[in-house]
Amino acid sequence: MASLADYLTRHGIAVLRFDDRGVGKSGGTYANATTADLVTDAQAALAFLRTRPLVAPQRTGLLGHGEGANVALLAAAAPGRAPAFVVSLAGYGQPGYTVLLRQQTEIMRLTGADATEVKAATDVYHRTVSIIRQTPDNAAARAKVAAVLSSANTGIDAAMARARAAQPLLPGRVTSSISTPKTIWPRCSARCCCSTAPPICRYRPSAT
């Protein structure tokens, strides 16, 4: 993104880049931020850019990559003054459920997993997603996910399974030889956004 920003500025287009929450001089904690929070950050950045004397406020827009692209699209769809344009680079065109499942299976295949291992990992994935969708209470969901991890992974004890279930990142292994995605699983995507894209928010471990 830095090289793209440099290219744009060299061609007369003003670019405002800002650090994630908790990085550099930015306040807050990135690990606890939902995608909705990131949308407000993008909106604030756009509002700030519009106040700069050398910027045409009616010609300002948002550019994002990956999750940033989805943040830009959500910011454009939110109430209030919309950006003049949005540039989406590799934004999600599928529900979060489908994206994460495809990522998991492709990564496993590339790292040499066989069909049996891929199936076992995706089965755990489906069971975990089902728990998140059907269990509104986070504490109860963690307990159920821990039970799934314990039953699928003989290499960890119950205490470790509970600790991993409480973490925002799912564990890197669910059996001694089966990988699960190291990507965060968005609770909102699991529960209410699987029929639409993009997902609305990230999984926040402390949320109720």
| Shared domain check, 102 and 15 | no
Query: Could you tell me the pLDDT band of residue 34, with boundaries at 50, 70 and 90?
Result: confident
Residue 173 lies in domain = 96-191
Whether 7 shows a pLDDT value over 90: the answer reads yes
Domain membership flag for residue 52 = yes
| Shared domain check, 174 and 124 | yes
Which position has the higher pLDDT, 7 or 208? 7
pTM metric for this prediction: 0.63
| Shared domain check, 58 and 6 | yes
Residue 61's CB is within 10 A of a number of other CB atoms, namely: 14
| Shared domain check, 109 and 83 | no
| Shared domain check, 79 and 164 | no
Digit-coded pLDDT (tens) for 159-176: 776 776 665 433 332 332
Q: Which of 16-30, 60-74, 144-158, 174-188 has the highest mean pLDDT?
A: 60-74
Q: How many domains does the chain have?
A: 2
Digit-coded pLDDT (tens) for 48-95: 999 999 899 999 999 999 889 999 999 999 988 899 999 999 888 888
Alpha carbon distances (Å) from 160 to 138, 153, 175: 18, 11, 13
Rounded distance, CA 9 to CA 58, Å? Answer: 18
Quote the pLDDT of residue 179.
34
Digit-coded pLDDT (tens) for 97-141: 888 888 888 999 898 988 888 888 889 888 888 898 888 888 888
| Shared domain check, 110 and 73 | no
Lowest-confidence range among 6-10, 119-123, 134-138, 202-206?
A: 202-206
Q: Which of 5-14, 18-27, 142-151 has the highest mean pLDDT?
A: 5-14
- Give the burial string for 66-105 (b: 16+ CB within 10 Å, else e): ebbbbbbbbbbeeeeeebeebebeebbeebbbebbbeebb
Domain membership flag for residue 182 = yes
Extract the tokens encoding 95: 């529900």
Burial of 15 (0-12, 13-18, 19+ CB in 10 A): middle
Rounded distance, CA 127 to CA 132, Å? Answer: 9
| Shared domain check, 168 and 101 | yes
Domain membership flag for residue 201 = no
